[in-house]
């Protein structure tokens, strides 16, 4: 067996060996809910207009966002296979925090695009790192406990709670942005 396969198997085994039964699942639930906090989802276009970007520039920034998952989907999957799904999910959170920080700092530049484009790419990279890793982690954790048959039911509940939280935090982000555009981004940096 090659070293990469051995490393991937050892990582998967370590990920599924919590000190207490159910600890992996509890951590996953917490991660999934925090990952769905979307304070900037409803305001980012208005924020970029506030920075002085034209709709064309905003459209290009959106294209940069979508370029990241296209270019990083396979490498991020390999990263999850070699280093573990936990690390891929952690990297996803780091990308979210860095993207929000760059968007926040874009107000300090004469040409905010210098930070907006990298921020949008990092935001897209967070989706690539999370794609598949979260569901695979949940399935493996359930299988370890003999509960793989409950995967669809639990995933449905988690996604329902996540979407509800996303709706509420998008509204909260809009209310905060009405006071100060920087607040939703600063809180996103803090939450990651």
Return the percentage of the chain with pLDDT > 70, whole number.
Answer: 89
| H or E stretch at 49 | helix 44-50
Name the average pLDDT for the chain. 87
Q: Which two tokens stand for residue 74?
A: 């396979």
Least confident of 1-10, 14-23, 32-41, 113-122: 1-10
> CB-side exposure of 181: number of CA atoms within 13 Å?
14
Distance CA 90, CA 100 (A): 16
Query: How crowded is residue 183: how many other Cβ atoms within 10 Å of its Cβ?
Result: 17
Distance CA 125, CA 96 (A): 8
CATH assignment, 27-191: 1.20.1250
Q: Which of 21-25, 30-34, 46-50, 154-158 has the highest mean pLDDT?
A: 46-50
Indicate if the pLDDT at residue 3 is higher than 80: no
The per-residue pLDDT for range 37-60, each reduced to its tens digit, is 999 999 999 999 999 999 999 999
Indicate if the pLDDT at residue 1 is higher than 90: no
The per-residue pLDDT for range 98-151, each reduced to its tens digit, is 999 999 999 999 999 999 999 999 999 999 999 888 888 888 888 888 888 888
pLDDT at res. 121: 98
Q: Specify whether the CB–CB gap between 109 and 115 falls below 8 A.
A: yes
Query: How crowded is residue 83: how many other Cβ atoms within 10 Å of its Cβ?
Result: 15
Identify the residue with better confidence: 90 or 192: 90
Distance CA 92, CA 4 (A): 22
Q: Specify whether the CB–CB gap between 95 and 125 falls below 8 A.
A: yes
Q: Specify whether the CB–CB gap between 41 and 99 falls below 8 A.
A: no
pLDDT at res. 6: 40
Q: Specify whether the CB–CB gap between 32 and 24 falls below 8 A.
A: no
pLDDT at res. 20: 52
CA 108 to chain centre: 25
pLDDT at res. 19: 44
Q: Specify whether the CB–CB gap between 20 and 174 falls below 8 A.
A: no
Q: Which of 17-26, 27-36, 61-70 has the highest mean pLDDT?
A: 61-70
pTM for the model: 0.83
Distance CA 75, CA 188 (A): 25
Encode burial over 9-33: b for 16+ CB neighbours within 10 A, e otherwise.
eebbeebeebeeeeebbeebbebbe
């Amino acid at each position: 067996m090659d070293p990469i396969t051995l490393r991937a198997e050892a990582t998967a085994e370590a990920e599924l060996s919590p000190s207490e039964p159910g600890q992996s699942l509890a951590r996953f639930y917490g991660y999934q809910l925090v990952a769905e906090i979307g304070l900037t989802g409803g305001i980012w276009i208005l924020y970029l207009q506030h920075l002085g970007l034209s709709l064309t520039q905003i459209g290009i920034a959106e294209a940069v966002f979508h370029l990241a998952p296209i270019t990083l989907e396979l490498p991020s999957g390999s990263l999850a296979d070699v280093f573990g799904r936990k690390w891929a999910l952690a990297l996803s959170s780091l990308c979210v925090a860095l993207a929000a920080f760059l968007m926040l700092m874009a107000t300090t530049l004469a040409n905010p695009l210098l930070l907006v484009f990298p921020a949008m790419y990092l935001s897209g990279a967070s989706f690539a790192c999370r794609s598949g890793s979260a569901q695979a982690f949940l399935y493996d954790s359930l299988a370890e406990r003999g509960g793989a048959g409950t995967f669809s039911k639990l995933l449905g509940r988690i996604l329902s709670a996540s979407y509800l939280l996303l709706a509420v935090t998008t509204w909260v982000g809009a209310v905060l942005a009405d006071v100060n555009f920087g607040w939703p981004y600063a809180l996103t940096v803090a939450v990651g």
